Amino acid sequence: MKQHINRALLFTVALLSLVGTGMLFADETTISLESRVIQDFSKPEAQNWYVLGSKFSTASFPQLGFIKGGPTAILGGDQTAAQNARSLSVAMLFDRKEYNWVDVIPGTKDKPIELPLPGRVKMIDMWVWSGNFSYYLEAFVRDFRGVVYTIPMGDLNFVGWKNLRINVPDNIPQSKKYLPRRQSLTLVKFRIWTRPTEVVVIPGTEGASDIERAVKFNFNNVKVLTDTFESLFDGDTLANPDVYKDAFGSGAKK
């Protein structure tokens, strides 16, 4: 009888240990995935972007503008919504075939900015319109140490609007050992690359204006799928740097 009781106690302790370990593991791996829109381009006057081109860019190119409309998958068949919607449009033209590129950068030439990406980003998601040119797209992100990473977004050899989604590699750090742990990424820019085997002028536009001859791409609804979960602990609010501004002030003596 005594042996049966001892075995039962050992089994109970072992079970509790497993449950405890499982709870700890679950807490460490808990995620709360959210979709966050970074730019939808609906208000051009409030969303500054500019473009820069590589050395073989035709004079006065690349150019940037905003056009009416967007993907039907987002707007549906609502004509009013389509008229009110805006998409970022890039016109690029080069004097020769090459590995040419155009950078699409938030901010202005005098004051470029980087867009904060909330949480720990798992995926970058955006809509791109293409005229079936064999070009490709990259996103550039910066980590908390200042290191910039290039993330391939995919080929642009398709017709019309397409949703491009790419996972953010796990080797890009978005947290650190010390508090505050979460260290979010920033979006530096997008880059459109040509291929030296692909045309750099729309075929059949000889004699037309430069803007008619230029290859165009349109962007809409840039967003991220991100993990916003953070474990709570006693004193977690003290990990916020803003707390110490009242205590020490911005000009604390060294």
pLDDT per residue as tens digits for the range 204-245: 999 999 999 999 999 999 999 998 756 555 555 555 667 667
Domain with 204 in it: 33-230
pLDDT tens digit sequence for 2-12: 455 455 444 44
**Is residue 15 included in any domain, yes or no?**
no
| More confident call, 248 vs 175 | 248
**Is residue 45 included in any domain, yes or no?**
yes
Q: Do 93 and 214 contact (CB within 8 A), yes or no?
A: yes
Mean pLDDT of 71-77: 89
CATH (domain of 118) = 2.60.120.260
Lowest-pLDDT range of 100-109, 121-130, 154-163, 243-252? 243-252
Residue 33 has pLDDT above 50, yes or no: yes
pLDDT of residue 4: 52
pLDDT of residue 155: 98
Report how far apart, in Å, the C-alpha atoms of 238 and of each of 3, 154, 190, 241 are: 51, 42, 36, 7
Number of domains making up the chain: 1
Residue with tokens 């505050």: 180
**Is residue 180 included in any domain, yes or no?**
yes
Two tokens at 215? 């290859």
**Is residue 13 included in any domain, yes or no?**
no
pLDDT tens digit sequence for 131-186: 999 999 999 999 989 999 999 999 999 999 999 999 999 888 876 665 555 568 99
pLDDT of residue 174: 73
pTM of the model: 0.79
**Is residue 18 included in any domain, yes or no?**
no
Of residues 5, 106, 8, 1, the one with CA closest to residue 52: 106
**Is residue 248 included in any domain, yes or no?**
no
* d(C-alpha 48, C-alpha 25), whole Å: 44
For residue 15, what pLDDT band results from cuts at 50, 70 and 90?
A: very low
Cβ neighbours of residue 53 under 8 Å, at least 6 residues apart?
61, 62, 92, 94, 100, 101, 102, 103
**Is residue 9 included in any domain, yes or no?**
no
**Is residue 6 included in any domain, yes or no?**
no
Neighbours of 161 (CB within 10 A): 19
